[in-house]
Amino acid sequence: MHYINMKNKKKIYYGLDFLKFLMALLIIATHSQLLVEYNNIYHAATIIYSLAVPTFFSISTYFYAKKLLSTQTQYDAWKICKKDICRLLLLECFWLVIDLPMTWDIFFSHITNWKECVAAFLFVFPVRGLWFINALIINKIILYLFRNHLKSLSIISLIVFILFSLGYTPLLNGFSHPYHPYFNFYFHTFFCCIGALFAKYQRLLSFRIDILAIFLIVIFLWHLYNYDYAVIAWRIICPFFFMSTFLRICYTPKETIKPLFLYMRKVSILFYFLHFNFLWLYNNILNLNDISIFSFSIIRYVVILVCCFFTSIVILKIEKIKFFSFLKYSH
């Protein structure tokens, strides 16, 4: 691995591809409740799992913001915003159809009145996992509208994140699970701003990684001993640390392993959506948890991961066939 100075060449951030793939694995670990049988270890593991989604938002916004902030006119900025939103809407529609059986089984059993139904579509989106795309779309529109006021937007969104993390949730009073602030766009606007800040301000890469790492270890230990406020600091600092670290990895790997990074880029989003379906099948349809060996979280995690891996390979292979070209909208 080496760093390269490319003034006239397009930079390819393979480090972010790898980071996004790692975060996808952590998201699967979260929903699979990996290591839940071991109380102390699981408590420490959940602290690590909790950084996956915020970092996922930061990565997903970085390249969009880099293009958006480089535009000279309102029209060019709108073209970039519209193109990205259309891409995300196609992704959302694809998985909306695929996830219908699971959605019917999981979501509609929670609906008790029309207010909750309206709130679901406005704030959450009633399909497992699609709340992320919904939140990403809204936040990308917000970034487009306030692209010239990025610092102010970052400060306001940070305050909103802290307030809702502390339990200040007046907008959602009267709504039951799953309408937690965590599943709403405004809870993650700050993390989208982090991606945009790194896209705009190169000097953020000058942060001392070693100092950030030490600070994170202190916060981790603080959080480990049940200091509730530590989780807020943890979620704020971690995306900064990971973006600062992995954005420095801008290099040209050997030709033989380039496809591996490209694969990681594509399967990260496939892993994210596919694992919900396989986990639902595992827990509800096949009832594998009733079999002693399959009740262990490590086995559950490995089975889900293997299913996601092979399904992703199949999708990436057959999407090249004209009849199955619609599969390109799955990622």
**217-256 pLDDT, tens digit each:** 766 666 666 656 777 777 888 888 888 888 877 655 555 5
Q: What is the pLDDT of residues 275-297, one digit of tens each?
A: 988 988 887 766 666 666 777 88
Exposed, middle or buried: residue 153 (CB in 10 Å: 0-12, 13-18, 19+)?
A: buried
Residues 6+ apart with CB under 8 A from 165: 181, 231, 232, 235
Length of the chain (residues): 331
Residue ranges in the chain modelled with pLDDT below 50: 1-8, 174-178
Helix (H, G, I), strand (E, B) or coil at 112: coil
pLDDT for res 264: 86
Separation in Å, CA 28 to CA 107, 212, 232, 255: 20, 26, 22, 30
Nearest alpha-carbon partner for 106 in 281, 253, 286: 281
* Separation of alpha carbons 323 and 112, rounded Å: 41
Contact 131, 125 (CB under 8 A): yes
Query: φ and ψ at 81, to 5 degrees?
Result: -60, -50
Count of CB atoms situated within 10 Å of the CB of 208:
10
pLDDT digits (tens, 9 = 90+) for 22-48: 999 999 999 988 888 888 788 778 888
Helix or strand or coil: residue 250? coil
State the Cα–Cα distance between residues 330 and 217, nearest whole angstrom.
37
At residue 240, the pLDDT reads 84
Enumerate the H helices of 99-170 as residue ranges: 100-106, 114-119, 130-145, 150-165
The residue to which tokens 């159809």 are assigned: 97
State the pLDDT at residue 96.
81
Residue 222 DSSP label: H
Report pLDDT for 129: 78
* pLDDT score, position 90: 92
